[in-house]
Structure 1
Amino acid sequence: MLKFYYNPISPNARRVWLTLLEKEIAFEPILMNLDGDQLQAEFLTVNPFHHIPVLVDDGFQIVESLAIMDYLEAKYPTPSLLPKESQALAKVRMVQYVTANELFPQIVSLIYENADSPQFLQAKQHIDKVLLFLTEVLDNSLYVGSEQLTLADIVAGTAVPSLPSLGINLNHYPKINGWTERLMQRPVWQKTKLSADDFEQFKRRVRILVKLRRRKLNQGNKK
């Protein structure tokens, strides 16, 4: 049976968790305490970069959420979460990478920066650009690139629904708001929805990681 190392507050882990559940794949969940489990010697043999998620399939270890999702899609093609048509597939891939590279870093800024700082304002402006882009890509489809759920919906769906809790009003983006509501009505998404306490824990985790990263950068610049 597949072994899945995860913690529900991790957006990257939740992508894989949702994929497993939507595809109804049997797996053994291994819950990681992010205050130290990921640094233990036993886990480092699974992922030397001490990150989650990790999927282990009969000794084959896969790291990085997008790679794991592609693996699951290839090995368990039913139900399909990737369209075959070239433009639809391009939409899925674009939304996956725009979410990872353009949206999520701005969510981190909203969590970490002071609300009156230039960085906070810049993050909100960039998120507006992302949401307008997603609106254009979604167009009138129920899901990204398809009338059925895709991997892009799972990736973006672990980020966009958190925006109202960070001061972004999705009512200004009607198509995105409707898409988010469709996702949240799915049984799997209701089952895995973060509680308010979990989301606060996620924000605390983000602040700690950003602070540590900036401290390392400052120490490196002083050398």
Structure 2
Amino acid sequence: MLKLYHQPLSANSRRVWIALLEKQLEFELVELRLDGDHLQPEFLALNPFHHIPVLLDDDFTVVESLAILDYLEAKYPTPTMLPKDPKALAKVRMVEMVTVNELMPAMTPLINRMMGFAGGDDSQKIEAANQKIATVLKFFENLLGHHPYFGGEQLTLADIVAGSAVPILPILGFSLIDNPKLSAWVESLMQRPAWQTTHPTPEAIEAFKSRMQALMAQYQSEKS
């Protein structure tokens, strides 16, 4: 059976979790709390870089979320989540890479602000982050066009990757109001059981926030 080592609030983890649900595969979830679980010898034997998610398929281990998504698509191609049309495929890959390389790094200052971490009140970093996010969302808005999904009429890996990050933006204080097509896309995704199952609840966010703040306080105390 497939086994996913993950953290429920991690966008990297959630994109794999969503794909597993959308493909209706049987799998086991192993939650890591990120307060030391990811540094244990058993986990480091799976991923020496101590990152999540990790997918274990019997005796085969896959690290890095995009590689895991490609593995799942190749091994379990139904329902298909990669279009054959060259332009549609290029859109899917662009959305994946822009999400990972542009959007998610820009979200970090907003996450730090929400979590109350050091530097989270840096107004210049927040403004730069907001500008980058706005650029990404405009790019996504144009790619969507008049289609319900980035690859056309069917859900693709692009929707799963971007859809594990964009719906979180309002929680971080960034409104989607200037991007009506993207807003409608998010509303459509949130009607799907896979998103309803994996979308973080306010209670889960507060619990994670409290745990991380306690860890930071402990770290600062030990450092001093």
TM-score, reference length from structure 2: 0.88
Post-superposition CA distance 1:22-50 (Å, at most 9, x none): 00011122122211111111111111111
Post-superposition CA distance 1:35-74 (Å, at most 9, x none): 1111111111111111111111121110000000000000
* 1:4-23 superposed matches below 5 A: 4-23=4-23
Q: 1:132 offset after TM fit, Å?
A: 0.3
Structure 2 distance, partners of 1:55, 1:3, is 6
Q: 1:116 offset after TM fit, Å?
A: 5.9
Post-superposition CA distance 1:147-194 (Å, at most 9, x none): 111101011011101111122111211001000000000111111111
Total equivalences in the alignment: 211
Is 1:49 matched up with 2:49?
Answer: yes
- Of the candidates 108, 122, 131, which is equivalent to residue 128 of structure 2? 122
Q: 1:201 offset after TM fit, Å?
A: 4.9
Contact 1:81 / 1:151 at 8 angstroms: preserved in 2? yes
Structure 2 distance, partners of 1:90, 1:207, is 40
Q: 1:111 offset after TM fit, Å?
A: 2.3
- Which residue does the alignment assign to 2:166? 160
Percent identity reads 57
Q: Which amino acid in the other structure matches residue 94 of structure 1?
A: M
TM-score, reference length from structure 1: 0.88
Describe the shift of the 1:170–1:65 C-alpha distance in structure 2 as closer, same or farther (beyond 3 A).
same
Contact 1:7 / 1:31 at 8 angstroms: preserved in 2? yes
Describe the shift of the 1:63–1:6 C-alpha distance in structure 2 as closer, same or farther (beyond 3 A).
same
- Which residue does the alignment assign to 1:85? 85
Contact 1:9 / 1:201 at 8 angstroms: preserved in 2? no
Q: Which amino acid in the other structure matches residue 105 of structure 2?
A: P
Structure 1: stretches of 5+ with no match in the other structure: 211-223
Structure 2 distance, partners of 1:109, 1:16, is 24
Q: 2:151 is paired with a residue of what secondary structure? A: coil
User: After TM superposition, which residue ranges in structure 1, 4 or more long, deviate above 2 angstroms?
Assistant: 111-116, 197-210
Structure 2 distance, partners of 1:173, 1:202, is 29
- Which residue does the alignment assign to 2:144? 138
* 1:99-118 superposed matches below 5 A: 99-112=99-112, 113-115=119-121, 117-118=123-124
Contact 1:111 / 1:207 at 8 angstroms: preserved in 2? no
Instruction: Point out the more displaced range, 128-137 or 104-113.
Output: 104-113
Supply the RMSD in Å over aligned alpha carbons. 2.1
Q: 1:203 offset after TM fit, Å?
A: 5.6
- Which residue does the alignment assign to 1:72? 72
Structure 2 distance, partners of 1:160, 1:203, is 20
